[in-house]
Amino acid sequence: MKSIGKSKLHVHLLFWILYYILEVYLDFYWSRYQFPDVEWQMRLQNTLMLELGYLFIKIPLAYSLLYVYERGHLKSFAKSILYILIVVLAVLGHRFFTHYLMYPYIYGTVETLDGKEFSGYINGLVAFNSFMDLIFMVGLIFGVEITRQKNVLKEQISQLKSEKLDQELTMLKAQINPHFLFNTLNNIYGMAMKKADETPDAILQLSKVMRYNIYEAAEKSISIEKDIENIKDFIQIQKIRHHHLTVNFKENVDCPSQEISPLILIQFVENAFKHGVSESLGESFINIDIQLEKGILKYRIENSKEQRAHEHSTKIGLKNIHRQLQLLYPQHSLVVEDRNDRYIVQLIIDFHDTFRS
């Protein structure tokens, strides 16, 4: 709220400075026709004093009207009466200043109308001129303020959407980490039950992967190079347990520093193990192909599976990651093929059309 108030002060201060300069320029230009015998230095001094005096009428008028405009609890009729009253008082004040102060004390003469001496400060024509001068200013300040309010509202809506998106992504990541940890600990538990010699190595690999999940995954984005390295570490853990597994890993990345949201790519690998390899009774395979060229990621995973998959296998991870892709990369392409003997996932992300920076 403080920043919004500060922004309003800056916008309005800039408006009045520019408006004052504009009015000085217009009146100074006009004065050379009305007072051709007066030196330009004196005319400029008079114009500066004149427009400064007018600001003491226009500024209260502008903010009185804005105050009434922003009072949502007032009925339309009451607002209309207040508008008329404020404008009438401003016109009278404008005319009083012009007739009794501006001409005799600034210009050193009397106000004239059509070349004749003008003794009264209320007259239809001159009052209309004052009214038009004030209304011109009111139109400008209302335009500036309404535009500013719309921009503030747009910024607030954008900020709320961003905060909501961040909260949802945080919740999704919080779901991913326990899910991944649960599956990996199950793998190591199976190895420990068999008293496998590779168990310490698996624990060390798990430590490395969890360090990535805790620290790196907390960031909004990381380099794709780090993300791929995490996938390789994850595969090493799984290969220790699955001895009858063939993993073909192809990688072609032209920009290793390309930023990507963490814990997206690995979820497809995890699902390939959990719902493919882990349910296979014999030889199994996983083919992983990661291609990044000119900002376009093509990611394909193909894994073997039993023709009759486990009826109670849950795919929370896949649903989770699909939601993240919708939030982060709305223009992505995700194709999932569930065949009799294999499961294929193909993902394409164009980083040029990324929703979030």
**252 and 349 housed in the same domain:** yes
Per-residue pLDDT at 267 exceeds 90: no
* Number of domains the chain is built from: 2
Same domain? For 200 and 97 the reply is no
Note the pLDDT of residue 357: 42
Question: Is 203 in the same domain as 267?
Answer: yes
* Residue 257 and residue 118 in one domain: no
Domain assignment present for residue 146? The answer is no
The verdict on 45 and 185 lying in the same domain is no
Domain of 205?
A: 162-353
> In which band, very low, low, confident or very high, does the pLDDT at 173 lie, cut at 50, 70 and 90?
low
The reply to whether 137 falls in a domain is no
| Per-residue pLDDT at 312 exceeds 50 | no
Same structural domain for residues 79 and 187? no
Q: What's the whole-number mean pLDDT along residues 271-277?
A: 76
Residues 4-8 have a mean pLDDT of: 67
Of the candidates 275, 281, 201, 209, which has an alpha carbon nearest to the alpha carbon of residue 239?
Answer: 201
Helices (H), the chain: 2-34, 40-69, 76-96, 124-193, 199-215, 224-241, 265-274, 316-328
Query: How crowded is the C-beta side of 59, counted as CA atoms within 13 Å?
Result: 13
Q: Are residues 242 and 101 in the same domain?
A: no
Q: How confident is the model at residue 317 (pLDDT cuts 50, 70, 90)?
A: low
| pLDDT, tens digit (0-9, with 9 covering 90-100), for 13-56 | 999 999 999 999 998 888 888 788 888 888 899 889 989 999 99
Pairing of strands 284-293, 333-338: unpaired
What is the reported pLDDT for 163?
Answer: 60
3-state secondary structure of 221: coil
**Is 127 domain-assigned?**
no
348 & 204 share domain = yes
What span, in angstroms and rounded, lies between the C-alpha atoms of 287 and 300?
A: 8
Q: Is residue 219 part of a domain?
A: yes
- Model confidence at 142, in pLDDT bands (50, 70, 90)? very high
Residue 309 has pLDDT above 60, yes or no: no
Amino acid 251 reads: E
d(CA 351, CA 33): 63
Closest CA to 240 of 304, 197, 279, 186: 197
Position 279 confidence tier, pLDDT thresholds 50, 70, 90? low
Residue given tokens 């993993």 in the structure block: 247
pLDDT, residue 166, reads 63
Tell me the percentage of the chain whose pLDDT exceeds 70: 81
The whole-angstrom separation of Cα 31 and Cα 210 is 79
CATH code for position 343: 3.30.565.10
So what's the pLDDT on residue 39? 87
Inter-residue contact 275 to 312 (CB < 8 Å): no
Q: Is 131 inside any structural domain?
A: no
Mean of all residue pLDDT scores within the chain:
81
Residues 185 and 329 placed together within one structural domain of the fold: yes
Is 203 domain-assigned? yes
* pLDDT at position 299: 96
pLDDT band per the 50, 70, 90 thresholds, residue 62: very high
Q: Out of 74-83, 235-244, 272-281, 311-320, which region has the weakest mean confidence (pLDDT)?
A: 311-320
Task: Determine, yes or no, domain membership for 135.
Answer: no
pLDDT digits (tens, 9 = 90+) for 88-119: 999 999 888 888 888 888 877 777 766 566 66
By the 8 A CB rule, do 87 and 52 touch?
A: no
